[in-house]
Amino acid sequence: MDETAPDIVKPGLSRPDLEGRSYAPLSCGKTVYLVVLLHGLGVDGDDLIDIAVNWQPSLLKAEFLAMHAPFPFDQGPTGRQWYSVADRSPEKIMEGLRKAEGILNQFLDESLAKRRLDDRHLALVGFSQGAMVALHTGLRRRKIGAIVSFSGALHGAELLPAEIRSRPPVLLIHGNEDQVVPYERMTEAKAALKALDVPVKSMTRKGLGHSIDEVGIAAVGDFLHDSLVPKKAAHDEHDDHDH
Protein backbone atom coordinates (compact mmCIF):
# COMPACT_ATOMS: atom_id res chain seq x y z
CA MET A 1 0.00 0.00 0.00
CA ASP A 2 1.17 3.52 -0.76
CA GLU A 3 2.54 4.87 2.53
CA THR A 4 2.41 8.44 1.21
CA ALA A 5 -1.31 8.36 0.43
CA PRO A 6 -3.47 10.21 2.96
CA ASP A 7 -5.79 8.14 5.14
CA ILE A 8 -8.36 10.93 5.01
CA VAL A 9 -8.76 13.20 2.02
CA LYS A 10 -9.07 16.81 3.16
CA PRO A 11 -11.85 19.02 1.77
CA GLY A 12 -10.85 20.67 -1.46
CA LEU A 13 -7.86 18.42 -2.04
CA SER A 14 -7.84 17.37 -5.68
CA ARG A 15 -6.52 13.97 -6.75
CA PRO A 16 -6.14 14.22 -10.54
CA ASP A 17 -4.27 10.89 -10.52
CA LEU A 18 -7.57 9.17 -9.72
CA GLU A 19 -9.38 10.21 -12.88
CA GLY A 20 -9.17 7.73 -15.71
CA ARG A 21 -10.51 7.70 -19.25
CA SER A 22 -14.07 8.68 -20.04
CA TYR A 23 -16.69 8.55 -22.78
CA ALA A 24 -18.63 11.74 -23.44
CA PRO A 25 -22.41 11.70 -23.98
CA LEU A 26 -23.48 10.52 -27.43
CA SER A 27 -26.04 13.32 -27.46
CA CYS A 28 -23.16 15.79 -27.94
CA GLY A 29 -24.68 18.04 -25.31
CA LYS A 30 -24.39 18.67 -21.59
CA THR A 31 -23.76 15.69 -19.33
CA VAL A 32 -27.03 14.84 -17.56
CA TYR A 33 -25.98 11.55 -15.95
CA LEU A 34 -22.60 10.43 -14.63
CA VAL A 35 -21.71 6.74 -14.44
CA VAL A 36 -18.47 6.05 -12.55
CA LEU A 37 -16.75 2.71 -13.09
CA LEU A 38 -14.66 1.13 -10.32
CA HIS A 39 -12.21 -1.57 -11.43
CA GLY A 40 -11.02 -4.75 -9.77
CA LEU A 41 -7.84 -5.61 -7.89
CA GLY A 42 -4.46 -5.33 -9.58
CA VAL A 43 -5.47 -3.33 -12.67
CA ASP A 44 -6.68 0.25 -13.16
CA GLY A 45 -9.60 2.16 -14.66
CA ASP A 46 -8.46 1.49 -18.21
CA ASP A 47 -9.25 -2.20 -17.66
CA LEU A 48 -12.97 -1.52 -17.26
CA ILE A 49 -13.91 1.66 -19.12
CA ASP A 50 -14.35 0.17 -22.58
CA ILE A 51 -17.41 -1.86 -21.59
CA ALA A 52 -19.21 1.48 -21.24
CA VAL A 53 -19.53 1.80 -25.03
CA ASN A 54 -22.23 -0.88 -24.76
CA TRP A 55 -24.32 1.37 -22.51
CA GLN A 56 -24.02 4.61 -24.45
CA PRO A 57 -27.03 3.93 -26.72
CA SER A 58 -29.19 3.38 -23.62
CA LEU A 59 -28.01 6.59 -21.93
CA LEU A 60 -27.42 9.15 -24.64
CA LYS A 61 -26.85 11.98 -22.15
CA ALA A 62 -24.55 10.06 -19.82
CA GLU A 63 -20.84 10.46 -19.36
CA PHE A 64 -18.99 7.28 -18.39
CA LEU A 65 -15.92 7.89 -16.26
CA ALA A 66 -13.38 5.40 -14.95
CA MET A 67 -11.72 6.03 -11.61
CA HIS A 68 -8.31 4.62 -10.72
CA ALA A 69 -8.08 3.06 -7.27
CA PRO A 70 -6.02 5.26 -4.93
CA PHE A 71 -3.30 2.81 -3.88
CA PRO A 72 -0.65 0.80 -5.74
CA PHE A 73 -1.27 -2.95 -5.74
CA ASP A 74 0.82 -4.31 -2.86
CA GLN A 75 1.01 -7.89 -4.15
CA GLY A 76 2.29 -7.29 -7.66
CA PRO A 77 4.56 -5.01 -9.71
CA THR A 78 1.73 -3.14 -11.44
CA GLY A 79 -1.90 -2.20 -10.99
CA ARG A 80 -3.95 -0.49 -8.30
CA GLN A 81 -6.07 -1.45 -5.31
CA TRP A 82 -8.86 0.16 -3.32
CA TYR A 83 -7.57 -1.45 -0.14
CA SER A 84 -5.04 -4.10 0.78
CA VAL A 85 -6.09 -7.73 1.06
CA ALA A 86 -2.83 -8.85 2.67
CA ASP A 87 -4.88 -9.19 5.86
CA ARG A 88 -8.37 -10.45 5.05
CA SER A 89 -9.77 -10.19 8.56
CA PRO A 90 -13.20 -8.47 8.71
CA GLU A 91 -11.72 -5.64 10.77
CA LYS A 92 -8.97 -4.89 8.25
CA ILE A 93 -11.35 -5.16 5.30
CA MET A 94 -13.72 -2.65 6.90
CA GLU A 95 -10.83 -0.34 7.75
CA GLY A 96 -9.74 -0.44 4.11
CA LEU A 97 -13.28 0.11 2.83
CA ARG A 98 -13.73 3.16 5.03
CA LYS A 99 -10.51 4.71 3.72
CA ALA A 100 -11.60 4.01 0.15
CA GLU A 101 -15.05 5.43 0.94
CA GLY A 102 -13.58 8.79 1.99
CA ILE A 103 -11.44 9.06 -1.13
CA LEU A 104 -14.22 7.91 -3.46
CA ASN A 105 -16.74 10.31 -1.91
CA GLN A 106 -14.47 13.27 -2.48
CA PHE A 107 -13.84 12.18 -6.06
CA LEU A 108 -17.59 11.89 -6.64
CA ASP A 109 -18.32 15.24 -4.99
CA GLU A 110 -15.78 16.99 -7.20
CA SER A 111 -16.85 15.16 -10.34
CA LEU A 112 -20.53 15.99 -9.80
CA ALA A 113 -19.81 19.62 -8.92
CA LYS A 114 -17.71 20.01 -12.06
CA ARG A 115 -20.69 18.86 -14.14
CA ARG A 116 -23.30 20.64 -11.98
CA LEU A 117 -25.10 17.42 -11.18
CA ASP A 118 -26.58 16.04 -7.98
CA ASP A 119 -26.36 12.52 -6.61
CA ARG A 120 -29.64 11.41 -8.15
CA HIS A 121 -27.91 11.60 -11.55
CA LEU A 122 -25.01 9.40 -10.41
CA ALA A 123 -24.54 5.65 -10.83
CA LEU A 124 -21.69 3.45 -9.60
CA VAL A 125 -20.65 0.33 -11.52
CA GLY A 126 -17.99 -1.86 -9.96
CA PHE A 127 -16.25 -5.16 -10.63
CA SER A 128 -14.87 -7.41 -7.88
CA GLN A 129 -13.09 -5.19 -5.31
CA GLY A 130 -14.50 -2.14 -7.09
CA ALA A 131 -17.99 -3.59 -6.67
CA MET A 132 -17.40 -3.99 -2.95
CA VAL A 133 -16.36 -0.35 -2.71
CA ALA A 134 -19.38 0.72 -4.79
CA LEU A 135 -21.81 -1.11 -2.52
CA HIS A 136 -20.13 0.04 0.68
CA THR A 137 -19.94 3.69 -0.36
CA GLY A 138 -23.14 4.03 -2.38
CA LEU A 139 -25.37 2.77 0.42
CA ARG A 140 -23.79 5.20 2.87
CA ARG A 141 -23.88 8.17 0.52
CA ARG A 142 -26.68 10.62 -0.18
CA LYS A 143 -29.43 9.35 -2.48
CA ILE A 144 -27.75 8.18 -5.67
CA GLY A 145 -29.32 6.87 -8.83
CA ALA A 146 -28.09 3.27 -9.04
CA ILE A 147 -25.42 0.74 -8.08
CA VAL A 148 -24.21 -2.21 -10.18
CA SER A 149 -22.03 -4.96 -8.71
CA PHE A 150 -20.24 -7.44 -10.96
CA SER A 151 -18.72 -10.34 -8.97
CA GLY A 152 -18.77 -8.36 -5.73
CA ALA A 153 -19.66 -8.81 -2.08
CA LEU A 154 -21.29 -6.79 0.68
CA HIS A 155 -18.90 -6.48 3.61
CA GLY A 156 -20.12 -5.27 6.99
CA ALA A 157 -23.78 -6.00 6.32
CA GLU A 158 -24.38 -6.11 10.07
CA LEU A 159 -23.37 -2.43 10.27
CA LEU A 160 -25.70 -1.23 7.54
CA PRO A 161 -28.91 -0.83 9.59
CA ALA A 162 -27.19 1.95 11.54
CA GLU A 163 -25.21 3.43 8.65
CA ILE A 164 -27.36 3.21 5.51
CA ARG A 165 -28.27 6.60 4.03
CA SER A 166 -29.36 5.67 0.53
CA ARG A 167 -31.56 2.96 -0.97
CA PRO A 168 -30.91 3.17 -4.71
CA PRO A 169 -31.82 0.42 -7.15
CA VAL A 170 -29.08 -2.22 -7.00
CA LEU A 171 -28.21 -4.86 -9.59
CA LEU A 172 -26.00 -7.78 -8.56
CA ILE A 173 -24.46 -9.94 -11.31
CA HIS A 174 -22.33 -12.97 -10.50
CA GLY A 175 -21.04 -16.11 -12.18
CA ASN A 176 -21.93 -19.31 -10.35
CA GLU A 177 -18.45 -20.71 -11.14
CA ASP A 178 -16.59 -17.76 -9.58
CA GLN A 179 -13.50 -19.10 -7.79
CA VAL A 180 -12.30 -15.68 -6.56
CA VAL A 181 -15.41 -14.17 -4.96
CA PRO A 182 -17.75 -17.10 -4.28
CA TYR A 183 -21.22 -16.99 -5.83
CA GLU A 184 -22.72 -17.22 -2.35
CA ARG A 185 -21.55 -13.66 -1.67
CA MET A 186 -24.21 -12.45 -4.13
CA THR A 187 -27.04 -14.34 -2.47
CA GLU A 188 -25.90 -13.09 0.94
CA ALA A 189 -25.78 -9.49 -0.31
CA LYS A 190 -29.21 -9.75 -1.88
CA ALA A 191 -30.75 -11.06 1.33
CA ALA A 192 -29.13 -8.32 3.42
CA LEU A 193 -30.28 -5.58 1.04
CA LYS A 194 -33.83 -6.89 0.82
CA ALA A 195 -34.00 -6.90 4.62
CA LEU A 196 -33.21 -3.17 4.52
CA ASP A 197 -35.84 -2.45 1.84
CA VAL A 198 -33.24 -1.73 -0.82
CA PRO A 199 -34.69 -2.41 -4.29
CA VAL A 200 -32.30 -5.12 -5.42
CA LYS A 201 -32.22 -7.41 -8.43
CA SER A 202 -29.79 -10.22 -9.12
CA MET A 203 -28.59 -12.09 -12.18
CA THR A 204 -26.86 -15.47 -12.09
CA ARG A 205 -24.52 -16.18 -14.99
CA LYS A 206 -24.34 -19.96 -15.25
CA GLY A 207 -20.90 -21.36 -16.02
CA LEU A 208 -19.20 -17.98 -15.64
CA GLY A 209 -16.16 -17.51 -13.44
CA HIS A 210 -14.74 -14.28 -12.04
CA SER A 211 -15.53 -12.24 -15.12
CA ILE A 212 -18.07 -10.13 -17.00
CA ASP A 213 -19.92 -11.50 -20.01
CA GLU A 214 -22.00 -9.98 -22.80
CA VAL A 215 -25.34 -10.95 -21.25
CA GLY A 216 -24.47 -9.19 -18.01
CA ILE A 217 -23.23 -6.13 -19.87
CA ALA A 218 -26.47 -5.90 -21.84
CA ALA A 219 -28.55 -6.16 -18.66
CA VAL A 220 -26.68 -3.25 -17.11
CA GLY A 221 -27.54 -0.94 -20.00
CA ASP A 222 -31.26 -1.49 -19.47
CA PHE A 223 -30.93 -1.27 -15.69
CA LEU A 224 -29.05 2.04 -15.76
CA HIS A 225 -31.56 3.56 -18.14
CA ASP A 226 -34.57 2.44 -16.08
CA SER A 227 -32.95 3.59 -12.83
CA LEU A 228 -31.65 6.98 -13.91
CA VAL A 229 -33.92 8.31 -16.64
CA PRO A 230 -37.49 9.41 -15.83
CA LYS A 231 -40.04 8.14 -18.36
CA LYS A 232 -40.75 11.54 -19.91
CA ALA A 233 -37.04 12.33 -20.09
CA ALA A 234 -36.42 8.97 -21.76
CA HIS A 235 -38.94 9.88 -24.48
CA ASP A 236 -37.45 13.36 -24.94
CA GLU A 237 -33.89 12.01 -24.98
CA HIS A 238 -34.59 9.91 -28.05
CA ASP A 239 -36.60 12.65 -29.71
CA ASP A 240 -33.79 15.22 -29.58
CA HIS A 241 -30.95 12.90 -30.56
CA ASP A 242 -29.86 13.83 -34.06
CA HIS A 243 -27.24 11.17 -34.89
Q: Which domains does the chain have, with CATH numbers?
A: 16-239 (3.40.50.1820)
pTM: 0.89
Spatial contact of 19 and 65, defined as CB atoms under 8 Å apart = yes
Of 128, 149, 151, 227, which is the active-site residue? 128
Contacts of 7 (CB under 8 A, 6+ apart): 99, 102
- What is the rounded distance in angstroms from the CA atom of residue 37 to the CA atom of residue 125? 5
Spatial contact of 103 and 130, defined as CB atoms under 8 Å apart = no
Known active-site residue 225: no
- What is the rounded distance in angstroms from the CA atom of residue 206 to the CA atom of residue 197? 27
Known active-site residue 210: yes
Average pLDDT over residues 101-107: 96
Model pLDDT, residue 231: 75
Model pLDDT, residue 9: 39
Of 210, 211, 213, 241, which is the active-site residue? 210
Average pLDDT over residues 120-135: 98
Known active-site residue 235: no
In the predicted structure, residue 232 carries a pLDDT above the cut 80: no
Model pLDDT, residue 164: 97
> Would you place residue 14 in the very low, low, confident or very high pLDDT band (cuts 50, 70, 90)?
low
Instruction: Choose between 142 and 201: higher pLDDT.
Output: 201
Q: How far apart are the first and last CA of the chain?
A: 46
SS3 category, 74: coil
Instruction: Choose between 39 and 7: higher pLDDT.
Output: 39
SS3 category, 235: helix
